[in-house]
Amino acid sequence: MKNKMTTIKPNFFIVGFPKSGTTAMHNSLAQHPEIFMSPKKEPHFLCKDLQDESKNWYNSLSGNYKKIGDIFFKIRTINQYLKLFSNVKTERIIGESSTNYIYSKTSAKEIYQINKNAKILVIIREPTAFLYSIHSQLIKKGRENISNFEKALKAEEKRKENKKIPLFVRYPSILFYSEWIKYTEMIQRYLAIFPTSQIKIIIYEDYKKNNLKIHKEILSFLSINNNFVPNFNKLNKSKNVKNIWLRSLMIKIKENLKPIIFKLIKKETTLKKIEVFFNKTLMRASRIKDKTSVLDNATKEQLMRKNLGEVKKLSELLNINLVKYWEYDKLY
């Protein structure tokens, strides 16, 4: 087992973006008999810069917060990472999905060092809808304490001065929303290292419209049987946190209790059940309900105008008219 653990390495990575169908993609691909996807989605091991940022941030805080970074980045050693793939049998594609890999400045190089022949999948989403969605996700997870989207965007300047950073954020720069829409820069980090034949970029809106068609394209990209049809999971719905203060408090209690529980209970399946119980309790207590979240039209147009330059650059890079596809041409 030891030799297996240290020799089997992933050769396929879904690197992002978050809130762009990566979970549904991970789960549908995992059903294919020729694909082994890490049972732990988002191990976030190959992003040392973000791990260091998280560690340094929590080390700088007064109080007993130094170990919080380990909660968000639990996998810290190569053997811990490779153990995720120890149950590989005859599968040809061995993969994992970590959405922070697209944001990280070091992930492309780290992935190359693990496997220079790895295939990379990137899912892009219209930037304005993406920003709104990731803000909602961070609120839901208790990682963002400014519930008003427009105010959260404006807080970025202060946050870059290490102000207004909420406790239990994975790493502070995750709240730098304007950095998240630098799509061209992020994708170019991969294009600078990997041949274009090893990178596939798909559009979230295409996947949402016809997931089977895109799924087949990805299987062809991976050079495996593309006739296999999985059971597709529904794309994650937006959710609304009714009581952000209560949710933040309960997350603080949960994360402080987890290290104690982990010491007392060693059985992994039992720990997983406790984690699920905590999460369900959090959802009920803060009254999270499914809803279709709608961005204010004035804010949407303002952001689209701000993001237009990036969309033009990305269109040129990918040779796809995203200005028209994402309806930015209606701004003219």
Neighbours of 120 (CB within 10 A): 24
241 phi/psi in degrees, rounded to 5: -90, 115
Distance CA 328, CA 332 (A): 8
Q: Does any domain span residue 224? A: yes
CATH number at residue 68: 3.40.50.300
- Stretch 278-292: mean pLDDT, rounded? 55
In the predicted model, is pLDDT for residue 301 greater than 60?
A: yes
Q: Does any domain span residue 256? A: no
Q: Does any domain span residue 248? A: no
Q: Does any domain span residue 327? A: yes
- 60 vs 273, more confident: 60
Give the total number of structural domains in the chain: 1
- 61 vs 304, more confident: 304
Domain hosting residue 60, numbered range: 2-241+288-331
pLDDT, tens digit, for every residue of 172-188?
A: 999 999 999 999 999 99
Distance CA 280, CA 216 (A): 35
Q: Does any domain span residue 42? A: yes
In the predicted model, is pLDDT for residue 248 greater than 90?
A: no
Residue by residue, DSSP assigns 254-281 as HHHHHHHHHHH---HHHHHHHHHHHHHH
- Give CA angle at 172 (170, 178), nearest 5°: 115
Q: Does any domain span residue 209? A: yes
Gyration radius from the chain CA atoms: 20
Average pLDDT taken over every residue of the chain: 87
How confident is residue 5, by pLDDT bands cut at 50, 70 and 90?
very low
How confident is residue 263, by pLDDT bands cut at 50, 70 and 90?
low
In the predicted model, is pLDDT for residue 102 greater than 90?
A: yes
Q: Which of 262, 238, 243 is nearest to 67 (CA)?
A: 262
pLDDT, tens digit, for every residue of 151-172?
A: 999 999 999 999 999 888 999 9
Distance CA 105, CA 216 (A): 30
* Res 240: pLDDT: 54
Q: Does any domain span residue 166? A: yes
Q: Which of 69, 103, 109 is nearest to 178 (CA)?
A: 103
DSSP β-bridge partners for residue 16: 122
In the predicted model, is pLDDT for residue 284 greater than 70?
A: no
